[in-house]
Chains A and B, each alone.
Chain A
């Protein structure tokens, strides 16, 4: 069974691709899979018919006792046959139904097949949680399938409505699932049902489960989504909304009925709501003109009927319910498919415009007649057999003194009368010849499309005639799981019984209603349309929308300063109150750690205040830079060489990046703030500063325990590292670093996407002929470059950088080029050195990566964007990807060795020149970090450097061409 599900998953994913190749013929191929599953299920018959069950189980989440366990007993077997059989036929039908130019055909094919697989999983799953998972997947797939015509409003709206209603039910059901599994101590449905739990908690859990079942099966008050879902293509309506998905709720009730039909509330809810749904659906079906909507409301009615009988409990009712389930799947799927054929051939589903369809297509009419007759309960069809069984079950329960038996009997007899009426009206509507309507013109589709409905109708006849020998023994094992006695047998002929009389009465009254349809219509128009549950749905949906809009308007009116200000004021107030109440002030305070600190601090403070005052972008940036370098000094003197190193490198790169961006922005910063606001801002700032100072003092005074850092030297020793900071980063707390480099990748991608509007995957701008120039003997030869400013300039002199000549002469600096030529490779070497010694000395992936990045920055500054591309002709995204893959790979590989993720293994050696090296997997991790940092800097240079250059050049070019144009105009 797991294998079948896997096959469904794989083929569904492949379906889109296959459709591009096979067009509509793909459906023939896809239908093989459901038919294979059908055959496989049939092969399980010997075990199932003997009352046994085929089981399969794979542990999944042992901590919660959840397993991928599957169990095919009679009920699951029946439903598995229905969903795979009907599924295969519907797929066959699709091959003829759709034309190759149908939009989104591949997606549709994949989704429909995936739905068939999910449905198969739903009915065969034994684990309640797994079953629920399939349950929710069907909701999502149904949403996607109903919304197949994405450009139609009603289709989108209907899809969303179906999704909201069924997932609402699903959510309620999830609570029930959790409750019942906790009470039973198992997630296996078979074992839950065997336990026969009782008590208020069980009652609540079961009722919550029923909410899910009712919403899924479109029972009043959730029935309104089903007619709206008819916006889907007809094969979807036939499969999801007649044969399969809406049966999931019925299935759940049937599944739990053997153990929980006596739960308080069960019978009133199911029988009561079922009868209401049956009557409401049938009543509304009688006034439809759209053939599909006649069937849709009819389905609501029939689902109500099924709910009543399946939820009734007892041997006879269970047998009748299973038979009705089968009968309904066969005739309703056939009818929907027939409507699809009529719709396609005549171009309308409104029967007032149809005339003479029956005369022109005898075959179609014959197939429909069988299905309709089964729906109306006319012998010798399966629908009749099932209905007889239902009436008998209710009658006997009523005679035995169960009042619900009488309620169910009266309700379903009335409902069945209406059913006969709308069945007759459907057939007459679709196939009659009308005097007032022009004869419909049928386009020919060949008989291939009739295979699926024809087979379904044939099955209705065969199983009806052979009900005694074929259907009865197959369904009996399920009925026998019900507590209590029962001796009813499904058969075509039971002799002259009360049920037969009821059937005759139903037929007679139903046909009378059809005959006097004008009179019925008048009554219907006279009665107000009550029970419009969809109105409640619209109201609640709109209420949520409005509420969200209102609260957004209320909470988010201002700009960024206002939000920030609000957050900060709240922060100051809360922490201010807290510190005012504080009683744990430190005993003493040192003026400084060391005297030099004061000088550095004053320098930083001056830089910061000046930066706050600066009116020009560049000076503001430089002043902020001084605070950064001041921090470097503080770190260095504090005893944090790694920090000092990293901060210094970061400050340098930051400065360059700022300059790269700011060169295109105007020099002055726009100022539009009123003096009042300035005062307010300053007071908020001062208040935050003061609060932070107080918080810091209190926090330090309140500290009682030793730092956890006291243990770290020992741990670092275990991790073969002497530099504690780096060891912590790549080993002890490697997970944090993993998160950090992920942030860096996101940032890099964000920057690139902001600058490269059309995508950064474009070709990297390379120099023409750079490969030859790189060769040793050609190093001194000068290459002729079309991008060079003038051929005469590049003819004789050698250049220090590969792309130096691509820059305009007034942008070039020979001094810079020489320096970069001399320093680039040593810088890269040192960065690699940092990477490898990081474990024992200051350095590591971050510092190394930043240094390498800085070397690239120098290359770019001296030689422009072509030089950058020559320095590292790889896409930044690939470097980032490899970096993350290396780091993540370290984590995954250690799992294979049976240790925790990101554990390290070591290999130590004394290497000349580099000294004692301990090469561990943590170094590979650090190399990943290194690559991510290099990738980040490269992405920044590509985006904020090279791309801005390009845009600038483009802007200059268009400026020039504009000038040229105007010049020539003047000349003329």
Chain B
């Protein structure tokens, strides 16, 4: 099976631009990159459907012979709708992050949350768990290994 060079080049361009834009920090740019990559991927599926043809609607005439492959079309239809849903979701995310931050034109920038992170800050959440453990251990220890205090009488100690 042969491919249309035009579509291959177009797909490559869409991927290249889409990925480049997607790698930026601004969420809006990420979304624009995502939409371009989405279109590029639809093109990829379109490519593998082979040459163009008539619509995949059975007419019962000889035109059915030249029908385009319906399989990729079904895949693409699903992809288009899901793409739309995700796009809307990311838009809601963008709005939400802007609304939370209210930082003007910096609002939809994803911060590098983990760059300044040290081992101490990462382990901080575990300290809380350790406190739970420690409390339990202390309870057990207090009730169990009661130390013998030499200054007092045995009966007092027991």
Contact = CB atoms under 8 A, between A and B. Distances in A.
Given A153-B132, A672-B25, A692-B40, A518 B96 contact: no
Contacts of A412: none
Given A289-B146, A538-B133, A640-B55, A601 B7 contact: yes
Given A565-B23, A657-B88, A723-B57, A712 B70 contact: yes
Given A560-B110, A590-B5, A593-B4, A940 B74 contact: no
A592 B85 contact: no
Given A552-B122, A696-B11, A717-B58, A643 B80 contact: yes
A620 B92 CA distance: 18
A63 interface: no
Interface in B105-130: 105-115, 117, 119, 122-123, 126, 129-130
A321 interface: no
Given A564-B23, A668-B105, A740 B78 contact: yes
A534 B133 contact: no
Contacts of A699: 48
A354 B54 CA distance: 94
Interface stretch (A458-466, A484-492, A630-638, A809-817): A630-638
Interface in A688-742: 688-690, 692-693, 696-697, 699-701, 703, 707-709, 712-713, 716-717, 722-725, 728-729, 733, 736-737, 740
Contacts of A881: none
Contact of B20 (A612, A627, A643, A712): A612
Contacts of B24: 561, 671, 673, 681
Contacts of B108: 665, 670
A657 B91 contact: yes
Given A666-B105, A688-B16, A153 B110 contact: no
Interface string A663-695: 011101111110000000110111011101100
A628 B35 contact: yes
A725 B23 contact: no
A132 to B, nearest CB: 29
Given A592-B6, A609-B17, A669 B94 contact: no
Contact of A747 (B46, B89, B119): B89
Interface residues of A, number: 145
Contact of A692 (B11, B50, B112, B133): B11
Contacts of A288: 143-144
A227 B136 CA distance: 11
B78 A944 contact: no
State the majority secondary structure of interface residues on A. helix
B67 A747 contact: no
B11 to A, nearest CB: 6
Contacts of B84: 650, 653-654
A646 interface: yes
A244 interface: no
Contact of A612 (B17, B54, B83): B17
A646 B104 CA distance: 36
B129 A545 contact: yes
B48 A559 contact: no
For chain B, the bracket of interface size reads 35 or more
B77 A639 contact: no
- Residue from A545, A631, A701 with most neighbouring chain B CB atoms (10 Å): A631
A620 B17 CA distance: 12
A758 interface: no
A455 interface: no
Interface stretch (A135-143, A155-163, A446-454, A494-502): A155-163
B52 A951 contact: no
Nearest to A713: B58
A525 interface: yes
A449 B47 CA distance: 80
Contact of A685 (B8, B19, B42): B19
Contacts of B87: 654, 657
A534 B44 contact: no
A444 interface: no
A665 B16 contact: no
Interface of B: 1-26, 28-30, 32, 35-36, 39-40, 42-44, 46-59, 64, 67-71, 73-74, 76-78, 80-89, 91-96, 98-99, 104-115, 117, 119, 122-123, 126, 129-133, 135-137, 139-140, 143-148, 154-158
25 contacts: A228-B136, A518-B155, A538-B137, A545-B129, A552-B122, A560-B25, A591-B6, A624-B36, A639-B52, A639-B67, A657-B88, A671-B26, A682-B16, A685-B23, A689-B15, A692-B44, A703-B48, A707-B49, A707-B69, A713-B67, A740-B78, A740-B81, A755-B96, A842-B57, A846-B77
Given A552-B122, A612-B20, 14 more contacts: A228-B136, A290-B143, A590-B5, A605-B14, A639-B67, A643-B76, A661-B91, A665-B98, A671-B26, A685-B21, A686-B20, A712-B70, A724-B70, A729-B78
> Which 5 A/B pairs are nearest by Cβ-Cβ distance?
A689-B16, A685-B20, A639-B68, A157-B136, A685-B19
